[in-house]
């Protein structure tokens, strides 16, 4: 297997040079895919990186909405998603049509959408947010009433940090739902010195047991702290590879080995090579949707800079 991966890696890296491509991988990707990437990060970091690169082709190793966000921000580049079936079930829990209907029922509210949403849903929203900047984005808005899509758990977590009235769409991440509070309680007893860090897509009962609630990029920064030697990690299991690689002398324990996102794992070295060879499947957002979705993403970036 190792020999095969080495061969595939060599082929991918040589083709990448020829096609003037850059490979971006999300923190939840398979370890071997993270290892061939030019940059590993969370969805927003990856899209910002995509916008900065002078490569002509972006091979986006993540899920569909992430490749769309890269396409929204990089009009002049070809964005490839090595497996077109790599969608996000949570993003699919809200559609533009259902969101338009919700807006009609609650006129006057401001729509904030988590970046884990389709380009069409972003186009219907006033502003986007990530798990790292959601509180800052919502606090910066004049509106007192917020419609938040699609993740009810992230939305609920934000509602504990602000006085704004947040109305939640009933979406959720099936992978983070596998992280149960009793697993965390057991691990805390086993590793009393460990820091417990969980993602805000987890259930409120899990969040209540954590020392820190962080995005994946926040977790990677937190792990570098001198006072962290053992970390219990409540998010998709792929991040453990990066945490161990960057902090070889520290211990990282996943709350649940079952917290695997099957769609993220559709991207493999084989599919990356095939995608570069065939220059497909390409993800491109139609201009009418792209310009409106970009306005919501740009507004978030503007708030982030303020």
Give me the 271-290 binding string for ligand SF4, x by CB under 6 A, dash otherwise. --------------------
Burial class of residue 142 in the structure, from the number of CB atoms within 10 Å of its CB (0-12 exposed, 13-18 middle, 19+ buried): exposed
What x/- string results for residues 41 through 80 when contact with ligand SF4 is judged by CB under 6 A? ----------------------x-----------------
Please report how close the Cβ of residue 233 comes to ligand SF4 at its closest, in angstroms.
14
Taking the complex as a whole, the smallest distance from the CB of residue 236 to ligand SF4 amounts, in Å, to 5
Q: What is the DSSP letter of 138?
A: H
Footprint on residues 2-31 left by ligand SF4 (CB under 6 A):
28
Q: Least CB distance from residue 99 to ligand SF4, whole Å?
A: 18
How far is the C-alpha of 272 from the C-alpha of 78, rounded, in Å?
Answer: 14
Residues 6+ apart with CB under 8 A from 127: 110, 111, 112, 113, 137, 141, 296, 299, 300, 303
Is residue 88 within the footprint of ligand SF4 (CB under 6 A)? Answer: yes
The window from 171-179, 183-191, 277-285, 287-295 that contacts ligand SF4 (CB under 6 A) reads 171-179
217 contacts ligand SF4 (rule: CB under 6 A): no
Q: Considering only 15-23, 88-96, 128-136, 268-276, which stretch makes contact with ligand SF4 by CB under 6 A? A: 88-96
DSSP, res 169: P
Residue 301, CA distances (Å) to 176, 295, 304 in order:
26, 10, 5
Find, among 70, 83, 80, 93, the residue nearest to 30 by Cα: 83
**How many residues bind to ligand SF4 according to rule CB under 6 A?**
13
Q: Decide if residue 89 touches ligand SF4 (CB under 6 A).
A: yes
The DSSP secondary-structure symbol of 91 reads G
Instruction: Give the whole-angstrom CA distance, residue 173 versus residue 185.
Output: 21
Angle between helix axes 64-73 and 43-52 (nearest 10 degrees) is 30
Q: Rounded distance, CA 256 to CA 236, Å? A: 9
Subset of residues 230 to 259 that bind ligand SF4, contact rule: CB under 6 A: 236
Secondary structure class of 299 (helix, strand, coil): helix
Residue 109 is given by DSSP the state: P
Minimal distance in Å, beta carbon 183 to ligand SF4?
Answer: 17
264 lies in the site for ligand SF4, by CB under 6 A:
yes
Q: With respect to ligand SF4, which residue has the nearer C-beta, 16 or 178?
A: 178
Q: Does 116 bind ligand SF4 (CB under 6 A)?
A: yes
What is the rounded CA–CA span in Å between residue 286 and residue 120? 10
Torsional sign, CA 230, 30, 294, 90: negative
Q: How far is the CB of 235 from ligand SF4 (least distance, A)?
A: 8
When asked if residue 261 is in the footprint of ligand SF4 (CB under 6 A), the reply is: yes
Q: How far is the CB of 188 from ligand SF4 (least distance, A)?
A: 23
Which listed residue (175, 217, 256, 275) binds ligand SF4 by CB under 6 A? 175
- Contact positions vs ligand SF4 (CB under 6 A): 28, 63, 88-90, 116, 173-175, 236, 261, 263-264
């Amino acid at each position: 297997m190792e020999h095969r991966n080495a061969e595939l890696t060599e082929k991918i890296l040589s083709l990448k040079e020829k096609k003037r491509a850059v490979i971006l991988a999300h923190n939840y990707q398979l370890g071997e895919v993270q290892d061939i990437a030019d940059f590993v990060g969370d969805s927003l970091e990856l899209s910002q990186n995509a916008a900065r690169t002078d490569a002509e082709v972006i091979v986006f190793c993540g899920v569909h909405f992430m490749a769309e966000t890269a396409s929204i921000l990089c009009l002049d580049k070809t964005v490839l998603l090595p497996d077109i079936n790599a969608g996000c079930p949570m993003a699919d829990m809200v559609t533009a049509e259902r969101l338009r209907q919700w807006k009609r029922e609650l006129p006057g509210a401001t729509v904030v959408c988590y970046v884990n949403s389709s380009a069409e849903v972003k186009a219907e929203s006033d502003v986007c947010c990530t798990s790292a900047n959601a509180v800052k984005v919502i606090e910066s808005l004049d509106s007192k009433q917020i419609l938040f899509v699609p993740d009810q758990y992230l939305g609920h977590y934000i509602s504990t940090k602000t006085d704004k009235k947040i109305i939640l769409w009933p979406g959720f991440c099936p992978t983070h739902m596998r992280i149960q509070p009793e697993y965390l309680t057991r691990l805390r007893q086993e590793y009393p010195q460990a820091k417990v860090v969980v993602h805000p897509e987890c259930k409120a009962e899990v969040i209540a047991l954590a020392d820190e609630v962080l995005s994946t990029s926040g977790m990677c920064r937190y792990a570098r702290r001198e006072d962290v030697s053992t970390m219990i990690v409540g998010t998709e299991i792929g991040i453990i590879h990066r945490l161990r690689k960057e902090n070889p002398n520290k211990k990282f324990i996943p709350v649940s080995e079952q917290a695997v996102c099957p769609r993220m794992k559709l991207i493999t070295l084989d599919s990356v090579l095939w995608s570069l060879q065939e220059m497909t499947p390409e993800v491109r957002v139609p201009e009418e949707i792209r310009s409106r979705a970009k306005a919501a993403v740009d507004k978030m970036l503007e708030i982030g800079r303020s």
